[in-house]
């Protein structure tokens, strides 16, 4: 009974704090604003051309990432490549750092090589950076699908035909759901991305909405435009719900599965491709930022460090509290989803809403006298993190729960062990790696989140991504590079630290 009350309380809190702001904001446009008809008239030809441009950009990025992600996943998960475990980890780094870091790095690179950054500050630059950022997501999704293919099917195919034909005729058709999920998720992320187009000065639908809301204070028009992206993103996710709800791309380990690895006849080209991708996605950005940061000596680097140090405490605190709550919400939702075989549609829909648009919804809802204690402090930012990233946490924990044999819980029930004791003494120890991984991912995503934070941070607050993004618009190139290098280094240190702690926890278990 107590467990049911807790579950109900958590879902009520999710609906009130996370979902209700979105519903309230949408209804306020249609029923609470007299300028609704005037704003409808402002949805002219240019608005839909800009939306088409954004859709084309998202389609292009999703196509490239799925293509390259498939090749990289096949090499890393289905072939015997040296240092494959190391490469699986390192190639994920772009996914766990803020996209604007890669944007700054590649702008610096083009400036060093060509003497100007005109080429990268364009539609091409946005596609390049977002492809590098989101390809690791495709690797995760497709790689997990490849690892879960029934090995007997592959072995039977190899008896009758060549390895290449097995890949094209058997493996790729079997992972078609993963390919579709990869494309749709990257499409949504690319369509929702704000920081990279804003940094390169490329006008897309998200930057237009941000300008309408923050610069022109036309909140109703901004929300009205937001509806187009919400409808597109949610429709795509719901269309893919059958595959996405069963996706194991966020699983921590695959118990009971056998994955066949094949030796390549000519591994030189494959190894070269992996090395080149590692260089352009991870090594090159760091090297370029380092060169640019110290191009004028150490003065700007230490100035950047001085500017960023005051932001560390608040940024870490917000990310830490947000990650704790996200893991707790994710566990409750995942446990309910597994037990009753329900999909967490509530978190899935919020996950699909672009960050800046979700930020607008929270502002409109909490900017009330009775809710000012939330609106004027850090609480609204934490709510934004929880709403945006709880779906990811729930999927990680849900996939871990699905790997636990039901017989363990049934045996505990026969032994008359209470629900709370079963959760505390059996369930949590078994899924501890997933809980810790969920915390790490939630923390890293939260500390680097720009779209929500830039909409919600209270005046006078110093938060790391906001500090970097606001200063680099008018700062000298070496100062911008120095600040970005510091954020990049801090992100890498955190990822490395969490990884080693995670390995220690797994070893002790």
Contact between 422 and 409 under an 8 Å Cβ cutoff? The reply is yes
Q: Are residues 242 and 381 in the same domain?
A: no
Residue 37 lies in a domain: no
Asked, for residue 40, whether it belongs to a domain, the answer is no
- 85 burial (CB, 10 Å; 0-12 / 13-18 / 19+) is exposed
Number of domains, the chain: 2
The residue to which tokens 């989101």 are assigned = 134
> Token pair for residue 108?
């610096």
This prediction has a pTM of 0.84
Sorted by sequence, the CB contacts under 8 Å of residue 206 that are 6+ apart come out as 54, 191, 192, 193, 194, 197, 229, 354, 356, 357, 451
Domain that holds residue 461: 1-32+296-509
Residue with the two structure tokens 């329900």: 342
In the block, residue with structure tokens 């946490």 = 393
Of 65, 54, 70, 277, nearest to 186 by C-alpha is 65
Question: Residue 190, class by beta-carbon neighbours within 10 Å (0-12 exposed, 13-18 middle, 19+ buried)?
Answer: buried
Res 2: pLDDT: 54
pLDDT along the chain (509 residues), means of 10: 68 85 80 60 77 94 95 87 82 85 89 84 93 92 80 71 74 83 89 89 88 73 80 78 57 56 77 91 89 84 88 90 93 82 73 84 89 88 92 84 74 70 77 84 86 83 83 77 86 78 68
The SS3 assignment for 457 reads coil
Instruction: Reduce the DSSP state of residue 79 to 3 states and report it.
Output: strand
Evaluate whether residue 39 is within a structural domain: no
Rounded distance between C-alpha atoms, residue 507 and residue 8, angstroms: 36
Asked whether residue 80 falls in the same domain as residue 124, the answer is yes
Please give the pLDDT value at position 131.
Answer: 96
200 and 237, same domain (yes or no): yes
Is 115 found in the same domain as 6?
no
pLDDT, position 65: 96
Residues 322 and 269 in one domain: no
pLDDT in tens, 363-403: 989 988 888 888 888 899 999 999 989 988 888 888 888 77
User: Are residues 322 and 213 part of one domain?
Assistant: no
- Please spell the DSSP secondary structure of 396-455, one letter per residue: HHHHHHHTS-HHHHHHHHHTT--HHHHIIIIIHHHTHHHHHHHHHHHHHHHHH--HHHHH
Torsion of CA 92, 97, 103, 108, to 10 degrees: -90
Query: For residue 473, what is the domain's CATH number?
Result: 1.10.3720.10
Residue 38 lies in a domain: no
- The answer as to whether 127 is a domain residue is yes
For the chain, state the CA radius of gyration.
23
| Residue 411 in tokens | 């045996």
Query: Are the C-beta atoms of 106 and 128 separated by less than 8 Å?
Result: yes
Give SS3 for 83.
coil
Q: Is residue 404 part of a domain?
A: yes
Other C-beta atoms closer than 10 Å to the C-beta of 504 total: 10
Question: Residue 246's pLDDT is what?
Answer: 55
Q: Are residues 87 and 225 in the same domain?
A: yes
Q: What is the pLDDT of residue 241?
A: 63
- Residue 271 has which token pair? 């190894």
| pLDDT for res 343 | 62
Whether 347 and 309 share a structural domain: yes
For 202, other C-beta atoms within 10 Å of its C-beta total: 19
Q: How many Cβ atoms from other residues are within 10 Å of residue 101's Cβ?
A: 25
Contacts with 172 (C-beta within 8 Å, 6 or more apart), sequence order: 70, 179
Do 187 and 316 belong together in one domain?
no
Residues 129, 145: Cα–Cα separation, whole Å: 25
Q: Are residues 110 and 220 in the same domain?
A: yes
Query: 415 — phi, psi (to 5°)?
Result: -80, 5
For every residue of 491-506, DSSP letters joined together read HHHHHHHHHHHHHHHH
Token pair for 144:
């997990």
| Boundary residue ending a domain (273, 293, 313) | 293
Predicted pLDDT at 327: 93
Per-residue DSSP letter, 370:
G
State the pLDDT at residue 325.
94
Sign of CA dihedral 320, 5, 19, 184: positive
Tokens of 239: 């269309």
> What residues have CB less than 8 Å from 509, skipping those under 6 apart?
429, 432, 433
The reply to whether 274 and 335 lie within a common domain is no
Distance CA 312, CA 328 (A): 24
What is the model's pLDDT at position 468? 83
What pLDDT is recorded for position 124? 93
Tokens read off for 215: 């610069």
Here the tokens at position 148 are 């879960």
* Same domain assignment for residues 166 and 310: no
Q: What angle do CA 115, 118, 124 make, to 5 degrees?
A: 125
- Domain boundary residue among 243, 277, 293? 293
In a domain, 23, yes or no: yes
Residue 131: left if φ>0, alpha if ψ -120 to 50, beta else—which one? alpha
- Does residue 376 belong to any structural domain of this protein? yes
pLDDT at 68: 95
**Relative orientation angle of helices 355-366 and 20-31, to the nearest 10 degrees:** 80
């Amino acid at each position: 009974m107590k467990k049911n009350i807790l579950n109900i309380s958590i879902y009520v809190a999710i609906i009130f704090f996370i979902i209700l702001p979105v519903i309230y904001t949408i209804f306020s446009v249609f029923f609470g604003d007299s300028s609704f008809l005037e704003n409808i008239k402002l949805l002219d030809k240019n608005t839909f051309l800009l939306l088409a441009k954004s859709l084309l950009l998202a389609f292009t990025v999703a196509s490239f990432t799925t293509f390259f992600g498939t090749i990289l996943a096949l090499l890393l998960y289905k072939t015997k490549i040296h240092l494959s475990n190391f490469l699986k980890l390192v190639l994920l780094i772009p996914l766990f750092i803020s996209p604007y870091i890669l944007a700054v790095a590649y702008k610096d690179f083009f400036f060093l090589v060509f003497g100007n950054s005109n080429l990268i500050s364009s539609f091409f630059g946005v596609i390049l950076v977002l492809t590098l950022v989101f390809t690791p997501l495709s690797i995760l999704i497709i790689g997990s699908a490849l690892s879960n293919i029934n090995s007997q099917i592959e072995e039977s195919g190899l008896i009758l035909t060549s390895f290449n034909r097995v890949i094209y005729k058997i493996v790729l058709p079997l992972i078609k759901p993963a390919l579709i999920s990869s494309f749709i998720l990257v499409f949504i992320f690319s369509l929702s991305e704000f920081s990279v187009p804003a940094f390169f000065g490329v006008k897309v639908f998200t930057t237009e909405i941000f300008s309408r809301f923050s610069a022109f204070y036309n909140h109703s028009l901004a929300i009205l435009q937001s509806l187009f992206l919400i409808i597109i993103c949610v429709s795509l996710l719901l269309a893919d719900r059958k595959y996405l709800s069963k996706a194991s791309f966020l699983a921590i380990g695959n118990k009971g599965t056998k994955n066949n690895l094949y030796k390549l006849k000519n591994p030189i080209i494959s190894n070269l491709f992996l090395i080149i991708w590692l260089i352009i996605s991870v090594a090159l950005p760091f090297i370029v930022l380092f060169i640019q940061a110290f191009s004028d000596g150490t003065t700007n680097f230490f100035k950047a460090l001085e500017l960023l140090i005051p932001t560390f405490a608040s940024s870490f605190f917000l990310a830490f509290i947000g990650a704790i709550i996200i893991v707790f919400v994710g566990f409750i939702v995942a446990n309910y989803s597994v037990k009753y075989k329900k999909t967490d549609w509530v978190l899935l829909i919020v996950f699909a809403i672009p960050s800046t648009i979700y930020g607008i919804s929270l502002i409109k809802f909490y900017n009330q006298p009775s809710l000012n204690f939330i609106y004027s402090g850090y609480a609204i930012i934490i709510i934004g993190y929880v709403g945006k990233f709880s779906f990811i946490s729930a999927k990680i924990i849900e996939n871990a729960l699905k790997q636990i044999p039901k017989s363990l819980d049934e045996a505990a029930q026969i032994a008359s062990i209470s629900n709370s004791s079963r959760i505390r003494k059996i369930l949590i120890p078994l899924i501890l790696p997933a809980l810790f991984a969920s915390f790490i991912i939630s923390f890293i995503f939260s500390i680097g989140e720009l779209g929500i934070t830039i909409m919600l941070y209270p005046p006078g607050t110093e938060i790391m991504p906001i500090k970097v993004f606001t200063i680099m618009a008018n700062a000298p190139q070496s100062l911008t590079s120095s600040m970005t290098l510091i954020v990049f280094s801090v992100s890498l240190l955190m990822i490395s630290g969490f990884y080693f702690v995670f390995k220690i926890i797994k070893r002790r278990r």
